[in-house]
Amino acid sequence: MFYRNSKRLDGFNGLCRDCANTTTKITKRCYKCCIEKNVLDFNKDSSRYDGLYSLCRMCSMRKSSINNSLRKKSLVERRKTVIFPNFIKCLTCNIEKDLNNFSDDVNQLLGKSTKCKQCTAKYYLENKDRINEYNKNYQIKNRESLSSYKKRWLRDNPGKKYQYKSKWSKKRRESDPLWDFNIRIRSAIQRVFKVSGIRKATKSEILLGCSIKNFFEILGPRPSVDYVIDHICPIAQAKTESELIKLNNHKNLRWLTRKENQVKSDKPTLEAVQKCKEILGRDWI
């Protein structure tokens, strides 16, 4: 008739099961921070008589964060003595595949996920709606705790977010030419408006006159690191905002080496004069 409680001398809870189930509590004292909080600030735990975990959600998140950091440190030490194989067996399809077919996972001993990328993608496609719905509800339900955790993490790790973002962007730009092309085109257009002192209020694809993907197929990937995006008719020829928008059309953009771009500058070359008349409908000024 009593719930078991190993923390008590007799090994049983102070309330019988009937009283524990009928008693409604509005607040509860956190075992860690010793603060009386609303029952909504506690996670559910069916093994306890009141159905709530002994720690509040904030203390639970701190405890989990500490445990995760300790586990990661132990994994780093263990990896020093592990011989890494060339192939790993996927736990879903039971097929041995190359390491490149597995995503990175710092929580695993080998640093790779237990599922291959193909099985992970297949699972997501089959359960896309359910996963998105769960993530949406979780974000709404834990908005305050997630927000406070994010602020605390940013405060304790200054600059780490931008280092991670820069590292991720660099890695993707090296492996995905279309992504690199997308970043370069948008940056070039944004830089032109910033130098001209005009606020960019139109999307880049509208200014180009075509999609980034179609322009990539027309212009091609970056030939080498020495090449930059060049405006055939220089931006200096734009006297109004409408002319500046016209000069950012995909017909006026091309790849050109840095040295050739510096030599060309804003000089009235034959090609630049012809392009000026074609796009702006007037002679070179």
165 vs 169: CA distance, rounded Å: 6
The reply to whether 34 and 83 lie within a common domain is no
Tokens found for residue 187:
């940056």
The reply to whether 235 and 155 lie within a common domain is no
What is the arithmetic mean of pLDDT over 97-115?
Answer: 88
The reply to whether 140 and 85 lie within a common domain is yes
The reply to whether 53 and 122 lie within a common domain is no
Is residue 59's pLDDT more than 80?
A: yes
- Give the pLDDT score at 95: 92
- Residue 232 maps to a domain: yes
- Residue 284 maps to a domain: no
Neighbours of 175 (CB within 10 A): 9
Which residues, including other chains, have CB under 8 Å from residue 264's CB and lie 6 or more apart? 230, 256, 272
The reply to whether 51 and 95 lie within a common domain is no
- Tell me the per-residue pLDDT of 134-159, one tens digit each, with 9 for 90 and over: 999 999 988 888 898 888 888 888 88
77 vs 109: CA distance, rounded Å: 10
The range of the structural domain enclosing residue 133 comes to 79-160
Is residue 243's pLDDT more than 70?
A: yes
Domain count within the chain: 3
The reply to whether 258 and 197 lie within a common domain is yes
- Residue 254 maps to a domain: yes
What is the arithmetic mean of pLDDT over 35-62?
Answer: 85
- Say if CB 45 and CB 51 are below 8 A apart: yes
Neighbours of 190 (CB within 10 A): 12
E strand spans, the chain: 2-4, 12-16, 27-29, 36-38, 42-44, 52-56, 87-89, 96-98, 102-104, 112-116, 227-231, 253-257
The reply to whether 105 and 149 lie within a common domain is yes
What is the arithmetic mean of pLDDT over 22-50?
Answer: 81
Is residue 99's pLDDT more than 80?
A: yes
The reply to whether 138 and 91 lie within a common domain is yes
- Residue 74 maps to a domain: no
Higher confidence at residue 234 or residue 46? 234
Q: Is the pTM of this model over 0.85?
A: no
The reply to whether 152 and 118 lie within a common domain is yes
- Give the pLDDT score at 27: 85
Higher confidence at residue 1 or residue 137? 137
The CA radius of gyration of the chain, in Å to the nearest whole number, is 30
What is the arithmetic mean of pLDDT over 120-132?
Answer: 93
- Residue 116 maps to a domain: yes
- Residue 220 maps to a domain: yes
The reply to whether 20 and 86 lie within a common domain is no
Higher confidence at residue 84 or residue 122? 122
Is residue 15's pLDDT more than 70?
A: no
What is the arithmetic mean of pLDDT over 68-72?
Answer: 85
